Each structure stands twice: as structure tokens, then as C-alpha cells.
A and B are shown apart, each in its own frame.
Chain A
Amino acid sequence: MAAVSPPAAGASATPLRPAQVRARWRRQASRVAGYTALAVAAAGILLPFVWMVISSLKENNQVFTVPLQWIPDPFVWQNYVDIWAKSDMTTWIKNTLVLSVSVTFLQVLTGSFAAYGFSKMRFPGRDALFLLYVATIAVPWQAYMIPQFVMLSNVGLSNTLWSILALQTFSAFGVFLMKQYYESIPESLSEAARIDGMSEYGIWRRIILPLSTPAIASLTLLTFVNTWNDYLGPLIYLRSPDLWTLQLGLQTFVGQYNAEHALIMAGSVISVLPIAVIFLFGQKFFVQGIATAGVKG
């Protein structure tokens, strides 16, 4: 990485040959190109979010202007007050929070429990069963949402928050992610604990679980965000407005007040903000989780 310093300032006493100078320049140029590409790509990716925040702070009739106005004048913080009055935001957030927290808790609990069975125990039928889990990843939910809806309606769960809980909790993904991680924990640890007379449940709780904190963090964050953002489940199952989640509520709000651009943007910012905060603090775990579940395929 010595190429950072320009060739003219090269501290070496011996004069550089022209070929070396050219190679250095070329490397320098490629770095500049790299940074430019990074900056352009980052700007392109972030622009919609920037526009969302800016528009949420404008007067409604200033959102679409020619030419574009990049800094709101004046800043209309009132939008963030009005949205609470005009919509049922509090109920939506409460429902979404209740669902996200309980789904995440159950998913992590049952997922890591099952993953222990799949990776640390040996018994007939285990691999066939796991294959079944993996195979369903290729089956889109859209293909079986109708029979699922018929079943859950028959037992009276449609139009209750329980339906979403049931839908989201038992994903194959959680089992998959945890199993991938457990396989990286050396078998000798649980073997030693077995010799000390610890039961399998004890090994799971006292040894494997504490060792898998990174994987648990990944699964927790991914599940939470996933449930928070889910739109289709609530759309199909939750009919009464007092059960609506943030996403469903926001979409209905957009339909009702489709000319209130600034207000809609304020609502969108509110719906994205918690996720953005969680992501900023836990982004390491998101990245690790995605990589763990992905690399071995």
C-alpha cells in the first residue's frame, strides 16, 4: 500500500525507472477511480432516502417543484405532529412492536433448540428431516398462502395477531442459520460436558447457547426487521383497523391521503427510523448472519 504516496515524493534514494513510475501512477489512478465509483454508488443508493427526509420537512405544495428544491424553506416540523393526529400511528406501532418482539423471541428459541438437534445429535431420520427444511426454501410462500389461510381461518385465527405470530415464527431460515453456526463449534466441547454427566439440554443451555451469541444476535435482528417490515401477512390476515401493523396502516394512509405528499413522507420516515437505528448499531450482526447462512448454501 506504499502506492498511496505520489511517486515524486518517493523517499527511496535510487531513482525510479520509468516503468515503475508508470505502474505507480496506474495504481494511483485505479484508486481514484475506485473512490469515485464508491461515492457515486453510495449517492445513488442513498438518494431516495435523502429525498424522503427532505420532502417530509416541506410544505405539501413544495414537494414537487421545478426546479427541485433541495433544502426545505421553511422546515415544517409540524408534519411530524400532524401525522399522529391524522392517523392511528400509535396503535399501528404498538401492534407491530408486540408482533416483532414475540415473533423474534419464539423464533430464536425454537430455532436454536431445533438447530441443536440437527447439528449436535445423531439419530435416524435426522438428515432427511433437515433436507425437508432446506427444500422448502425453494417453495415460495406465495404458492401456499391460500391453503395456509384456509387452515388458519378454519381454526379461527384469521383476523387475530396470533395468525401473524404463527406465520412468522417457524421459519426454516432460523433453523438453518443457527445450524450453520453450531457446526463451527467444536464437538469436543459438548463431548467433554457429556463425560462430566451434563444432559443434552444442559449442554445446549450452558455451553452452546452462550457460545453462539453472535448467531443469536444475527437471527434476532434479522427476524425483528423482517417482522417489522412484513406487509403481505398483515394484509391478508388482519382485517380490523385496530389490529393493523405499521406497514399496513401506512399503505392505507397513502390510499386515503394520496395528495398529502409531505405527510406521507413523514409517515414513511417514522416507519423506517427504528429499523435504521437498529441497523446502524447492529450492522455487524446483519452482515455476519447473511454471510453465515449464505456461504455454505
Chain B
Amino acid sequence: MATTAVDDRRSGPPGPLPDAPPGPRRRRPGSRLKRRNTLIGWSFILPNFIGFALLTLIPVVTLFYLSLTEWNVFGGAEWVGLDNFTRLVGDPSYRTALWNTIYYSAVHIPATLVASLCLALLLNRKLRGVAFFRTVAFFPYITSIVAIAVVWNMLFSPEYGPINQFLSFLGVENPPGWTTSADSSMPAVIIVGVWREMGYYMLLLLAGLQTVPPELYEAARVDGAGAWSRFWNVTLPCLRPTMFFVTVILTINSLKVFDLILVMTDGGPGQSTLVLSQFIYAKGFEENQFGYASAVAVTLFFLCITVTIVQFLWNRRRDA
């Protein structure tokens, strides 16, 4: 935006240049300066970029190669073409992991979105204590996964845990076994996921809500719009860019869910909470099948990229 000033300077400025070297070799200040500028620009980016390229870009590219090989730590890579992928198709554990990932996302995304939007709307009102509440709501997001998992596992404890005590107090006959039963382990993990992350998305949505011009609410009120109608016709349309961003981040985070499940249930009981990331971890680091694990990782990669692209296209279509 404000970079036009630099542009002018680059395309042959008339006056003496502040940082052009003096002396006889000043014939083509434009192109020399351009090169100099490029060099300086790169020098700023390089320290970070080297690390970024080595530790992120190269691994991402290598991933595709690894997925086409049979590789264990000691043997080295052996080219097997698409074998890993054909094996994937017939692997029931993989299908379970894929299904569980979709299950987790399909419940976790809307639940978190609704919870964080409600919190954000609540905080956007002029009530006292709002700042304190913002602190409280964000706190779970910055506490360590291990501590959170340990506490919740105890809260969920089937016989004497506070949650089930509360449920039987309410008159529930057979309270669920939560993390100890295959039927309710996924809901338990999702509850903790929503509890942990809603504060973060609440902050993003709150920042978006504060950009909604107050005049719009006034105008709607003058036109006789009720609270519900103001929400649908003013708040939501103005919030759409933020909502879009939140949904994209939330989706990626749900598809890659890992550490919470790893620490809370370790994929169990049975395979009831086994998700893709964990399947990659188990195949790679526990069974040393790096090639096969990479093939699974490639599918996770494409899942995330595809969903993100689809969301972008959908958003653009609605913008048009």
C-alpha cells in the first residue's frame, strides 16, 4: 500500500540518491539500485527462510518421495511405486482412522463455531467484567495439553468422577463410560476439544465483531428490526470475512487433531478414537514403517489442502 514511494525511487528518481554509492560508477543508478535493493531484501529474509526451507519446504517435498518407497530406519529407501497407496485402500485401520477424523471434524467444527460465536456476542455487549471473562475463556487454550488431558480424564472417570456424579444427581440412569468406553470416547474428546479451543476462536470473532459499524445497528433499530433480525441481517453479513478465516483454521486444526487424543485416549479404547495423525505417528514412529506412514501423511496433506481450496472457492463465489 505505502510502498509506492519506494517504487518511485527505484524507477529512476531525479534527485541525488541517499544510499547510492558515490563515485564514477554511477552511470546506471536505476538497475544498480534495484539489484542492491534485492540483495538487501533477501538478506532480511534469508535467516528465517533458510530454516523455513530446510525444516518445512524440503520435508513437504520429500514426503511425496518417501510415500513411494519402502523405508525403514536401517535399510534405506526402496522404490515401490504406488504399493503403499494400494495397501492403504485395503487397510481397515486406515479406514477407521479416516472415518474417525471426519467424525471428529464434523462435530467439532460446528460445535466450536457456535460456542465461540455465542461467547463473542456475549462479550461484545457493554457488560462489566467482560475483560476478566475474556481472560478466563482464553486460558484453556494456552494451558498444556498434558495437564488438560490428565484433569479431564479424572473428571470423566466413570464411577467416581465429578461429571458422572453430577449426571446421576440429575437422575441419569446409566451415565456414559466416557474415555473408557468405545461408544462415548469420541464425544468425550470432542467436549474437551471444544472447551479448549473456543476461547481462541472467540478472540478472533470478537475482533471481527468490533469492526461492525455501530451505525448499521442504529439504522436497523430505527427500521424496527428486532435483536434476532439484527443478528441475521447486520452481524452475520459483516462478520463473514472473519467467519471464513475462522472456519478455515478450525477445519485444518480439526483434521490434524492429534496431541489431545494421543494424551487423552491414545486412540482407544480399541480404535474408537484413532485419527489420521495418530495413525501416521503409530506407523512411523512405533512401527518404523516410514514409507507407509508417509503415504498416509500424503492423504492427510491432500485432505487439508482440498478442503481449504474448496472453502476459498466457495467464499469467492459468495463474494461475487
Chain A interfacial positions (CB closer than 8 Å to B): 1, 31, 34-35, 37-38, 41-42, 44-46, 48-49, 51-52, 55, 63-68, 109-111, 113-114, 116-118, 120-124, 126, 129, 132-133, 136-151, 153, 166-167, 169-170, 172, 174-175, 183, 186-188, 191, 194-197, 199-200, 204, 225, 228-229, 231-232, 236, 246-247, 250-251, 254, 261, 264-265, 268-269, 271-272, 275-276, 279-280, 283, 286-287, 290-291, 294-295, 297
Contact = CB atoms under 8 A, between A and B. Distances in A.
A283 B138 contact: yes
Contact of B59 (A122, A126, A151, A153): A151
Interface in B257-295: 258-259, 262-263, 276-277, 280-281, 284-285, 290, 293-294
B204 A144 contact: no
Counting from the closest, the 10 A-B pairs by CB-CB distance are A117-B44, A187-B2, A170-B51, A140-B256, A64-B160, A114-B48, A121-B41, A297-B245, A147-B62, A291-B207
A113 B142 contact: no
Interface stretch (B82-90, B147-155, B172-180): B147-155
Contact of A229 (B66, B142, B200, B242): B142
Interface in B301-320: 301, 304-305, 308
Interface of B: 1-3, 5-7, 9-10, 18-19, 34, 37-38, 40-45, 47-49, 51-52, 54-60, 62-63, 66, 71, 73, 119, 122, 125-127, 129-130, 132-140, 142-148, 150-152, 154-155, 157, 159-162, 165, 195, 199-200, 203-204, 206-208, 211, 241-242, 244-246, 248, 252, 255-256, 258-259, 262-263, 276-277, 280-281, 284-285, 290, 293-294, 297-298, 300-301, 304-305, 308
B142 A122 contact: no
Contact of A147 (B40, B244, B294): B294
Contact of A123 (B9, B41, B59, B132): B41
B-side interface mostly: helix
B145 A37 contact: no
A140 B28 CA distance: 47
A183 B1 contact: yes
Contacts, number: 304
Contact of A48 (B127, B144, B152): B152
